[in-house]
Each structure stands twice: as C-alpha cells, then as structure tokens.
Amino acid sequence: MAICAAVLCAAFVDPAEAQWIGRTAPHTGSVEVSGGALWSNGFDLGDSTAEETRNINSGTGPFGLFSTSSRLAPAPGGVGRLSVYVTRDLAIEAGVEYARPQIRTRVSDDAEGADAVTATERIARYVFNGSVVWHLPPLTFAGGKGVPFVLGGGGYLRELHEGNELLETGREYHAGAGLKYWFGDSRQRLGLRADVQISMRKGGVNFGTTRRAVPTGSLSLAYLF
C-alpha cells in the first residue's frame, strides 16, 4: 500500500517542489522515535509423521502411527524504533519487535483411530534489528508532509517457548518500504509511520524448515526532534 502511494505521488508531484517540511528538519543528527502496532504473518512449520519400522511381509515403507502438520499463526504485536539521521535523507535505525504467536500442530491420521486434535503452544518472539532507512524526497507529497521511504537491515531473533524455559535464537534480514506523514512543520513534530516488510528468518522456532519469509506490517506514532 505504501509502495502504491509512493508511485502515485511520484506521478503527480513536481520534483522541484518536493522538499521536507520546515527545510531545516530533519538534518544530520535529527532523532526520530516511533512505536506502535505490528502484525506478523504466519508460516508453515512443516509436516511430519510418527513412523515405526515396518516388519517384513507386513507392507512397504515405514508404518505411520500418526501425522502432524504445524503452523505458526499470524500474530499482532508491538514495535519500537529509534532513528538517527546521518544525512537529511538517510537514517540508521535500531528497533525491537514483540509478538506472541501460537504454534498450532494438527495431529491426525492415527493408526488406532484416536480423534484428531490441534495441539497448541504460545511463544514469545523478540526481534532486535538494525536498518538503514532511505527517505525519498523526490516522492514526497502533500506539500512535503508525506515522505515515502525504503529500508533494509538485519537482526537477531529470540523466541521463547511457553514457560520461558527453552530459548531458540536465529537471524533475520528484512527489506521493505513505508510512508511517514508528519503533522506540522516545526523542528519537532509528530507523525504517523506505516511499514510493510518481508523478513527472511533463519533459526528460531522451526520444525525443520529453517528458512522462511515472513511478511510484516506496522503502524506507528512517530516523533521527530
């Protein structure tokens, strides 16, 4: 959505008029803090079969006692970020994300006819990451209040199972785009920030599929000073 908005604006805004509100901010050394709501998409954790070794003359292949199909459910969460502008267009950013998605394992096809169930567990996920944010002044709109940006970076994934007694860690790399909309033009200003990202993750909670792409989206309140 943010990318669409950026493209549309690029078509209608005269680049000569595209400039930052207030002209003096942000500047090198400006700081931006933001915090808000996060949504992470779910992903498949894979299928598995509880297998026993089959006796000769009783069929071929392993004997399936039951099957499982696991998925990490989509989950809401929170996000906080701190950005420092290196130039007027470029910022480096540190962020933390928190969510409590549920692992859902469908257990079925029992060889002795047990009822299928969905066994669950809720994990606590933290992502500590760093990003480079490149603002796109030529694409600003609404008199410079709307500022599209793209970003990319990497981070550390920390996922705690229920009971907090088992920690699984991993890495994540992300890329995305977004839009900031500032209310006002003073040096210190409040705004809204929307992000969409693809987060490539390795490690953390997984049932064998160690790499996955996780779409995320967030909407934050931002403060620039």
Partner 1 sequence: MRVALRRGGALATFVVILIATVPAGAYLKLGSRIGTRSMTLKWNRLPIRYFVTNAGTANVSAQQFQSTVTRAFGTWDAVPTSQLSSEFVGFTAAPPVSGDGATVLGFQNRPDLEKVLGATSFMVDTVTGEVVESDIFFNSAFSWSVAAGGETDRYDLESIALHEIGHLHGLAHSALGETELRAGGRRVIAAESVMFPIAFSAGSIASRTLKADDIAGISDIYPSASFTRETGSISGKVTKNGAGVLGAHVTAFNPRTGRLVAGFSLSEDGAFVIAGLDPGPQVLRAEPLDDADITSFFDGSLNIDLDFKVKFHDRLVVVPRGGGVSNVEIKVVSK
Residue 39 lies near partner 1 (rule: CB under 8 A): no
Strands 75-85 and 117-122: unpaired
Site string for partner 1, 126-165 (x = CB under 8 A): -----------------------------------xxx-x
Q: Helix, strand, or coil here: 213?
A: strand
- State the virtual CA torsion across 119, 209, 164, 41 in degrees, nearest 10: -80
Cβ atoms of 43 and 71 closer than 8 Å: yes
Specify the residue, 14 or 165, whose C-beta has the smaller distance to partner 1: 165
Torsion sign (Cα): 15, 12, 33, 201: negative
Torsion sign, CA atoms 154, 160, 165, 166: negative
Q: In 3D, which of 220, 178, 212 has the Cα closest to residue 195?
A: 178
Interface with partner 1, residue 46, by CB under 8 A: yes
Structure tokens at 41: 């998409």
Of 15, 62, 143, 184, the residue at the interface with partner 1 (CB under 8 A) is 62
Span 66-95, contacts to partner 1 by CB under 8 A: 66, 68, 70
Name the residue with tokens 């928190």: 98
By CB under 8 A, what part of segment 178-207 binds partner 1? 206-207
If one asks whether residue 19 binds partner 1 (CB under 8 A), the answer comes out as no
Round to whole Å and give the CA distance between 142 and 17.
Answer: 10
Of 103, 101, 117, 102, residue with least CA distance to 67: 117
Q: Taking CB under 8 A as the criterion, which residues in 92-121 touch partner 1?
A: 103, 105, 107, 110-121
Q: Does 51 bind partner 1 (CB under 8 A)?
A: yes
Member of 33, 50, 73, 194 binding partner 1 (CB under 8 A): 50
Minimum CB distance to partner 1, residue 167 (Å): 9
Is 60 an interacting residue with respect to partner 1 (CB under 8 A)? no
Our CB check for partner 1 shows the closer of 46 and 138 to be: 46
The nearer residue to partner 1, 87 or 120, going by C-beta atoms, is 120
Residues that bind partner 1 (CB under 8 A): 45-46, 48-59, 62-63, 65-66, 68, 70, 103, 105, 107, 110-121, 161-163, 165-166, 206-208
